[in-house]
Structure formats: structure tokens, C-alpha cells
Structure 1
Amino acid sequence: MAKGTVAPPFELPDTAGKLHSLNDYRGKYVYLHFANTTTYTSQAEFDLVKNIYDRYKGYCIFVTILTDKDREAAKEFMIKHGYEWDYLFTDINSKVISTYKVSTYPTYYFISQGGNLLMSPAPSPTEGFEEALFRVVEGKDKPKPNSNQPDNR
């Protein structure tokens, strides 16, 4: 998926079964995080995501899409560790996983206020996402709309 193109839509349930779509987050920057709480690499980055979330939650929405088979255990993991952002569930072979070309966990995307991909894929917290987000928040790296895909902010 090319940077500047419209982020593929999705509609997925949260822990209570309430459906959330990407459109629910329109008007905000979105750090989209695909993870599985049973994988070591996902577990290792959750605390790093939390640190960025704690600093930037007023500027950016954090959404984690979990592919755990045991959704109750995943919910308990998120609550136990104090991860307070939105987390949604899907199956490992779902359309959203194939559309976003998720082949490893974690995988990240950064979506503009207008719903376009700003970073595709986005860097992980260990690869400098916080610095990239800071540049956007401070206006030093303001996203420019793709001429073919207007960013309707």
C-alpha cells in the first residue's frame, strides 16, 4: 500500500463486541498496530507503545488490532498491563490482515487525519516512530496530500 493512498477501511469488534471502523477515528492521526499478545516481539513492544501513547494521546489515536485466538486472555493481558487505548479483534486469516499485508507481528501504519496512509508501513517504537510523530505534531513534517488522493482533513 502506497504512502498517500486511502487507508483500507475495516470494521472490527472491541472486547465488548461493539464494532469500530476506521471512519470512527477520522479527523485524528491514527497509529494502527497489528499484534498478537502471545508473540514475544509484540509483548516486547507493548510497553514502548504505551510510553508513546502516554505522551501523545492528545494528538494521535492508538488502535491495536489483535489476532489472538483466546480473546479473553488477550483482554486480560491488555488490562493487566494498563494498555488503555482501543484494541479490536480479528482472525489471523481475516480480510483486514490480508489487505494490510500483515505477515509479522507487530506491524504498524500511521494514518492521517483525512484517512490516508502517512507511513506505510510505519516505524515501530524501536525504529523511531516517536520522533516521526513528534515531527508531525510540531509541524516540521506536515503531511502533504497526494495529488491523486485528496487528504480531506
Structure 2
Amino acid sequence: MLSLSSVVGTSVQADVNVPSGSQINLAGGTMQLGCTDFLIQGAAVQGSGASTTGVRNLSVLAGGSLDMAGSAIQLAQQYTNNGSVSAAGGSLTRVDSVTCPAVGQLGAIPINGVGPVATVAAVPTLGSFAFGLLMLSLGLIGGLRAARRGSSPNRPWH
């Protein structure tokens, strides 16, 4: 059930992959993935009280199923559901850690449906007047500096 996939470069990444036709059942236990992907093409059953942490990306692929009844999954980055997920009191949460940095809004992620939309702050821009004033100021500063250098050629710092 554990497959290794190479990543371009020198690193190797181990993902937990539940292939089509197979099943994993935590039976209420715990699983720590250490910032790896959890790919579900078969059936994954958490079981009441189960906890899966350290998930980088959780993907329930077409034909896959995840039963989260009364259990919890903590992931750092993306959740994709193209299969079937049964929540029934389960929770899916995006968390951030030093070893597995988060991508997206932290907190609860809706298990069935659209997740929270991340807000992106607008990048401040200079208006045309402010930009012209900035260019004029920089030109003036450059001209003054050049004039100072020209008037004292024997200074060691020029």
C-alpha cells in the first residue's frame, strides 16, 4: 500500500497510496504521514476516534472512497475529492507546521462541498503622478550625488 514516487531533483517522496480494489482500515487508530500525500483510489476507513496527521495533500480519486465517521484528518495543503467521502461527524482541518508548511487558509475544510476561498491582498501600486514624482526625485538625488562627486574628486569614498 505504500508506493514510492520520485520527484525531479535529488529528493524522494513516499506517499500513502490506496490502489483501486484495495482497502485500508485504521479501526480507530492513528496514522502519522510525515508530510506525505494520501492518495485514495480504493477504500479508506478511518473508524470512530481515528486520527490521521501529517498529510500534505489528501486526494480521493475517481472510484475511491473515504469513510471519516467520527474521525479526524489534519492536512497542510490541498484536499481534492473526485470520489466519495462520508463525513458523519468527521473533521478535516488544514494546519501549518515547520516540517509541513500550509498552503491555503488554515482551519476547518468542508468535507463535502466547496472549501473556503482564500483571500488575496491587493498589491499596492503607484499612480502615474506618484510614479512620475518618484522618478523625478530619484533623478534629482542621482544628479546631486554626481555633482558632489565631481566637486571633490580626491575623496576616497566616491
Pairwise same-fold verdict (TM > 0.5): no
Determine which structure has the larger strand proportion and give its number: 2
Give the TM-score range, shorter chain. under 0.3
TM-score computed with the length of structure 1 as normaliser = 0.23
**When the two structures are superposed, what TM-score results if normalisation uses the length of structure 2?**
0.23
Larger gyration radius, structure 1 or structure 2 = 2
- Structure (1 or 2) with the greater helix fraction: 1
